[in-house]
Amino acid sequence: MEKDNARYDLSYTQNRELSWLQFDLRVLEEAETETVPLLERLRFASIFTTNLDEFFMVRVGSLFDMSIMTPDNIDNKSGMTPAEQLEAIYKAVPPMLHRRERVYKHIMKELEEKGITEVSFNKLKGREEEAAKSYFNNQVRPLLSPQIIDRSHPFPHLKNKCLYAAALLRSGDKRLIGITEVPDSLPQLLYLSNDGHNVRFIRMEELILGNLDHIFKIYLQEEKAVVCVTRNADISFNDDETDNDDPSSGDVYRDYMSKLLKSRDRLAPVWLEVEGNARELGKSLAKKLGLKGQQVYYSGSPAVITWAYSVGADRKDLLYPEFKPRWPEYLVKDIPMKDQIRQRDILLFYPYHSMQPFLDLLKEAANDKNVVSISITLYRLAKNSQVAKYLIEAAENGKTVTALVELRARFDEKNNIEWAKMMEEAGCRVIYGQEDYKCHSKICLITYKNKNEISYITQIGTGNYNEKTAALYTDFSLMSADKELGSNAADFFSNMLIGDINESYSKLLIAPHDMKRGLMRLIDSEITKGDKGRIIIKTNSITERDLIDKLAEASQAGVQIDLIVRGICCLIPGIPGKTENIHVTSIVGRFLEHSRIYCFGTGSIKQIYISSADIMTRNQQRRVEIACPVMTDEHKEWISFYLDMLLADNVNARSLNPNGLYSKKEQVGRPVVNVQQYFIDNDIKFAATKEKNVSVADRILRLFRKRK
């Protein structure tokens, strides 16, 4: 955000928030795609909903705060004030929700034809009605805490993202609201029948809503609906509050974070969702919550669809074919990982490769007498983290274990706090990153000492040390015994321990100090080549203004640029004289395209970096991030092939147009290319090295014509 935007050219940029909404529509589009298995489509509708919830909690919440505290701040990509951005968001969201409603109803109709039926309360009959009534009376009603809202009964606190059944009631000439929370302790669904193939269920909030006339039986019901409040979750981290406490104990910071998280449920509401058309009820609740009319949305689909991951779980015919990450064929299970890494760099490609080789490396290190220390950065750990368990095992075996745990990883704070406490109790040295800078880097260093010789194995990745996401996200994990890389990693951890984030390294690019400058230099190098220059960047988002302008400069110099951007892209391609040599591709598919890759040049002088960092202001300026060069020709070939396949995809890929909207890629007269399905079906090393002397276009053409 900048107050003075006169120096910025807004002709080839767009607003971050509106670009994000376009991305979430891409997710909803997967829910509409007939070739996607039916239950997977329901899950995409759930992902769309969860994404939108987080967007309101974080982005809209932040804009809401800015509209009050810094109302004159101007977005340097669109020239809009916070209030103008909010207005545009409030206008853009209702059509998205109407589209979700149509998608949801269509999916549920098709599921009913396949034997999976959602039953509404007013359709309950016979034995199902008796069973539902019995369950409500015996299992649900005792857990409810209904109340009325009038002059004698104050408005209750409605928790963030909690479902409530509410009704507009009348007693004589008096109008009031009745409301009850849908308890988290109850299952999301009540199954009326479930024999594996034929499933009938009612949502718990629908069951409670249907019984409101019994709960508020002394009143006349005028309207009723399930409602859900979304609150600002953009909590502020104020380091000053811990300045007077004992800095020698991690308990102080963990306790501060725990207290801060509790405040999230009580922050200002930014959105009220009403299931159905209960307009008067919505207006009454909005008034109580201090919301404007445009912050209330009426929808014919559920506000929460996370149950999509459990319903029909046995119906394999309605889900993607089962896929388990593979053990890489070029690694030998019976040979220690450290020995194989010392022979050559190892590159794992999640989720097609299993994370197990890295886990084996950690386990070996925890029990290796020659290992003196393990240092690692941790951003999002799995709830049942093997990584954390092996670090604890290493500490208990006398190794020096340093874990830089980022407690400010949004929505994973509680999990990280718990693991940090357990690791510290086991003897690990736990630190919590730099003041004002989140540590988002993905790096692990194992230090060995044999007699007087020190050696290293360094792992650097694009994704978190999380076993769950490693099976769902596309990411790279590089493991190397390179001495210079190990020395850089050792210096990095030493500097983090003393709070020095301004050091430069011979191989690594580190944000916030020199990554952005390094990327600018690499782009400048391609600019000097003119129309012989080549840049391919794969990232989750592009928002950083200076790098956007540098890419536009490269385009104007004739450099051919492909940007593979899963989510937000504030750079608009194809603007004549500005970005006409830039092409933007977005891929949303079975796996979340999470890896960050920076590729500059062609042929033998090509430079490729894998990184934890997106091209976002926060990543380049307010986080500690790492970009690591890919050092072997074999791995450069692997990654280059992957990038080419991404650009050839015409199933899950969409192109960003000069109008800021996405369109499907052409299939007519071309082989149908689904990059994710290709790597599910084919060995990765074979894919990367087969027919090296054949052009990429011909290779892809042959591969997919063979599959036909």
Q: Say which residue, 341 or 237, is predicted with more confidence.
A: 341
Has residue 499 got a pLDDT over 90?
Answer: no
pLDDT in tens, 505-540: 999 999 999 999 999 999 999 999 999 999 999 999
Confidence of residue 241 (pLDDT cuts 50, 70, 90): very low
Domains defined for the chain, CATH in brackets: 1-114 (1.20.58.310), 125-232+270-313 (3.30.1840.10), 337-498 (3.30.870.10), 509-707 (3.30.870.10)
Q: Give the per-residue pLDDT at 264.
A: 43
Residue 145 CB burial class (10 angstroms; 0-12, 13-18, ≥19): exposed
Residue 244 confidence (pLDDT): 37
Q: What's the CA gap between 456 and 51, in Å, rounded?
A: 40
Alpha helices in 623-673 (DSSP H): 633-648
Q: For the ranges 104-108, 142-146, 378-382, which has the lowest average pLDDT?
A: 378-382
In which band, very low, low, confident or very high, does the pLDDT at 259 lie, cut at 50, 70 and 90? low
Of the pLDDT bands very low, low, confident and very high (cuts 50, 70, 90), residue 484 is very high
The answer, yes or no, to whether residue 683 has pLDDT greater than 90, is no
Confidence of residue 382 (pLDDT cuts 50, 70, 90): confident
* Model confidence at 122: pLDDT above 90: yes
Q: What is the pLDDT of residue 260?
A: 46
If one compares 473 and 451, the residue with the highest pLDDT of the two is 473
> Angle at the Cα of 207 (from 204 to 212), degrees rounded to 5?
125
**Digit-coded pLDDT (tens) for 547-570:** 999 999 999 999 999 999 999 999
91 CB-contact burial (10 Å; exposed 0-12 / middle 13-18 / buried 19+): exposed
Residue 86 to residue 244: CA distance in whole angstroms? 38
CA dihedral 619, 347, 629, 432 (to 10 degrees): 40
CA dist., res. 46 & res. 54, Å (int): 12
Residue matched to tokens 């239950």:
39
pLDDT at residue 61, rounded to an integer:
87
Residue 284: CB atoms within 10 Å: 18
Neighbours of 306 (CB within 10 A): 13
Q: Is the pLDDT of residue 334 over 80?
A: yes
Does residue 256 have a pLDDT over 50? no
Write down the mean pLDDT value for the chain.
89
Buried/exposed 291-300: b ≥16 CB within 10 Å, e otherwise: beeebbbbbe
Please state the pTM of the whole predicted model.
Answer: 0.89
Q: 644 or 151: which carries more pLDDT confidence? A: 644
Q: 618-661 pLDDT, tens per residue? A: 889 888 999 999 999 999 999 999 999 999 999 999 999 999 99
Separation in Å, CA 18 to CA 93, 284, 412: 10, 29, 26
Longest dimension (CA), the chain: 90
Decide if 208 contacts 202 (C-beta within 8 A): no
Q: How confident is the model at residue 386 (pLDDT cuts 50, 70, 90)?
A: very high
pLDDT of residue 7: 77
What pLDDT is recorded for position 655? 96
CA separation (Å) from 161 to 66, 158, 585? 22, 9, 33
Q: Mean pLDDT across the stretch 115-127? A: 95
What digits encode the pLDDT tens for the residues 393-435?
999 999 999 988 887 655 557 777 787 888 889 899 988 777 7
CA distance 155 to 446: 56
CA distance 280 to 222: 9
pLDDT in the model for residue 522: 98
Can you tell me the distance from the alpha carbon of 435 to that of 500, in angstroms, rounded to the nearest whole number? Answer: 11
- For the annotated catalytic residues, the residue numbers are 440
- Work out the average pLDDT over 569-579: 97
Which of 33-42, 412-421, 603-612 comes out lowest in average pLDDT? Answer: 412-421
- Yes or no: say if 400 and 373 are a contact pair by the CB < 8 Å rule: yes
pLDDT of residue 98: 95
- Report, as an integer, the average pLDDT of 316-331: 94
In Å, how far from its chain's centre is CA 273? Answer: 23
Q: Are 295 and 90 in contact (CB under 8 A)?
A: yes
- Give me the phi and psi of 441, to 5 degrees please: -65, 155
Percent of the chain, pLDDT > 70?
A: 90
